[in-house]
Homo-oligomer: A and B are copies of this chain.
């Protein structure tokens, strides 16, 4: 079969975001440069027409080098491997002579795949030296502050210590989370050592800009991409990854289940500056042509190694779905809705035996600690509808996830725990409370939860409601849901909308927790709003382009970018305009009405 060269004509979105400048904050070494986005604001014009400069707003930047105007995008070459030196300096890794995975070797030798292959596969993967563990958890426990830890400390602070302006910070309700005013590298180390946070950063993904997932840090967002058997190409998937990063995805998961998974993933990782997660079981199933019964531990194991050596930063592994839990789902309305969960349940039932993921969990950890692949322990029994929420199947599995987290801990493997799903509001907090209790505060990573089932086409919203709440309660990372959920594969616009929706959810959760650095952007936005600095409002928005577009639908002229009203209320009914005039009036009279009649 003749195939179109899918890697040609890659158009990758690049260039700065509107009104933004890419800056780098240097750490203790010259090769440790943390990217941030500086939003420069226009001046405030006072009564007398004087211009008063407004402080720039620095925000967290997930977009990678793509938004640096000095960076020449070359997807054939991939991103700079700036972390390589940090890894080598630790002197605990060796470069392999060839891939350890049988399948990986086979794919590389197959000449019919040449047209699909990432061009610069000239180096072999790294692996830990014998007897070594190369995880951030391992270093943290030994008391070592790695460059990665310093990097995330600088990154989390967003230079908030340098804000001169006085603005109102709110007392949050953090439900036991403990966020210091200022994050130090040592604090990062302690949180990782305690298992309360992870830095997903495979030694074979030196392009990754380190980021941290944990309850005492900013809430993070994951975007799923990946082709399915029905649609999508490599080209689309790489652009989707870069696109998701641009709008704020802190990690991406490549959930491809179609053809050429191996090659698609290579392209994505080499071009991704955020951590990449996968569900290795999907590819293992592809290898046995979709026949669940033919899955074996050996095939799965080879897949783990194959992907670890490509540079995947975290694996979802549904090891908590044990054989004897399956009957607990018997009376569910929607059974098992996790793909990985359904596969493993089917395997257990067919072979009448315990899950090989559960049985081989120690061996899995022994493999992953050699590459620093983190485990996201999957919730194969998460509820797929309101009626199935918080049931015995779900919580039996959650207890098991806690036990597995303890095993991973023995091997210094970094762990996060996956959560639901579909849960009505009054039952969300129980999920968080039990997760903290069963899993010893390991970071929680939830999919929504969706707070109702009846709004297909709007499930980015039904899920963002639950996500915002559970983020507030203590979830560390929110897996986005797009509006196509339950209906079809998301396109580029859906991905962007999903990411922005989850960014606002994560940010609202940060605010509610009382995160020290979270309030400043809201404050700057509100001041810009009150002063009718329209461009500043657009630039401070999570999605500048959409805000501008909506404004311009009715008032497109440049003059209206400084107008003291918008088309929503019109000039005479703009409350902000009236309120500003009122304030002036009161100030001028200096009399006011300050009595109590």
Q: Which residues of B contact A330 (CB under 8 A)?
A: 583, 586
Give the contact stretch, choosing among A61-69, A110-118, A143-151, A497-505. A497-505
Give the contact stretch, choosing among A83-91, A399-407, A438-446, A542-550. A542-550
Asked if A198 is at the interface of the complex by the 8 Å CB criterion, the answer is no
Rounded to whole angstroms, the CA-CA distance of A483 and B550 in the bound complex is 9
Q: How would residues 530 to 555 of chain A score, 1 for a CB under 8 Å from any chain B CB and 0 otherwise?
A: 10000001101111001101110111
| Cβ 8 A contact of A486, one of B451, B568, B596 | B568
Are A424 and B170 neighbours in the complex by a CB distance under 8 Å?
yes
Are B457 and A546 neighbours in the complex by a CB distance under 8 Å?
yes
Closest chain-B Cβ to A128's Cβ sits at a distance in Å of 33
Rounded to whole angstroms, the CA-CA distance of A337 and B571 in the bound complex is 14
- Decide yes or no: A526 and B458 within 8 Å by CB, A452-B504, A488-B566 being known contacts: no
Interface residues of A in 320-342 (CB under 8 A from B): 323-324, 326-327, 329-330, 333-339, 341-342
- Decide yes or no: A488 and B455 within 8 Å by CB, A229-B572, A461-B461, A529-B385 being known contacts: no
Total contacting residues, chain A, CB less than 8 A: 135
- Decide yes or no: A526 and B453 within 8 Å by CB, A330-B586, A336-B579, A487-B551 being known contacts: yes
Rounded to whole angstroms, the CA-CA distance of A454 and B540 in the bound complex is 7
Are A500 and B542 neighbours in the complex by a CB distance under 8 Å?
no
Asked if A489 is at the interface of the complex by the 8 Å CB criterion, the answer is yes
| Cβ 8 A contact of A568, one of B290, B469, B485, B549 | B485
Q: How would residues 475 to 518 of chain A score, 1 for a CB under 8 Å from any chain B CB and 0 otherwise?
A: 00000000111111101000000001101110111011110000
- Decide yes or no: A426 and B472 within 8 Å by CB, A257-B569, A572-B257, A576-B337 being known contacts: yes
Are B462 and A504 neighbours in the complex by a CB distance under 8 Å?
yes
Asked if A13 is at the interface of the complex by the 8 Å CB criterion, the answer is no
Give the contact stretch, choosing among A26-34, A41-49, A209-217, A348-356. A348-356
Rounded to whole angstroms, the CA-CA distance of A596 and B328 in the bound complex is 12
- Decide yes or no: A458 and B425 within 8 Å by CB, A229-B570, A488-B551, A585-B350 being known contacts: no
Q: How would residues 553 to 575 of chain A score, 1 for a CB under 8 Å from any chain B CB and 0 otherwise?
A: 11100000000001111111111
Rounded to whole angstroms, the CA-CA distance of A550 and B464 in the bound complex is 19
Rounded to whole angstroms, the CA-CA distance of A229 and B350 in the bound complex is 69
Are A593 and B352 neighbours in the complex by a CB distance under 8 Å?
yes
Are B468 and A575 neighbours in the complex by a CB distance under 8 Å?
no
Asked if A519 is at the interface of the complex by the 8 Å CB criterion, the answer is yes
Are A454 and B522 neighbours in the complex by a CB distance under 8 Å?
yes
Are A424 and B511 neighbours in the complex by a CB distance under 8 Å?
yes
Closest chain-B Cβ to A124's Cβ sits at a distance in Å of 32
Nearest-neighbor residue (CB-CB) of A595 within chain B:
B324
Interface residues of A in 85-142 (CB under 8 A from B): none
| Cβ 8 A contact of A554, one of B172, B462, B488, B570 | B488
Asked if A597 is at the interface of the complex by the 8 Å CB criterion, the answer is yes
Nearest-neighbor residue (CB-CB) of A581 within chain B:
B346
Are A512 and B451 neighbours in the complex by a CB distance under 8 Å?
yes
- Decide yes or no: A333 and B228 within 8 Å by CB, A424-B170, A454-B540 being known contacts: no
Q: Which residues of B contact A343 (CB under 8 A)?
A: 578
| Cβ 8 A contact of A570, one of B258, B525, B551 | B258
Rounded to whole angstroms, the CA-CA distance of A578 and B489 in the bound complex is 19
Asked if A432 is at the interface of the complex by the 8 Å CB criterion, the answer is no
Asked if A384 is at the interface of the complex by the 8 Å CB criterion, the answer is yes
Rounded to whole angstroms, the CA-CA distance of A237 and B538 in the bound complex is 29
- Decide yes or no: A426 and B173 within 8 Å by CB, A337-B576, A345-B582 being known contacts: yes
A-B CB contact pairs (8 Å), 15 listed: A171-B426, A172-B424, A173-B426, A230-B554, A324-B593, A326-B586, A333-B530, A349-B585, A349-B586, A354-B597, A453-B522, A458-B500, A464-B465, A486-B568, A489-B567
Pairs of residues from A and B, 10 with the lowest C-beta to C-beta distance, nearest first = A335-B579, A385-B526, A425-B512, A229-B570, A342-B578, A457-B546, A173-B426, A342-B575, A451-B508, A228-B570
Instruction: Beyond the given A385-B526, A454-B521, A487-B566, please list 4 additional residue pairs across the A-B interface where CB-CB is below 8 A.
Output: A453-B526, A455-B507, A457-B549, A465-B505
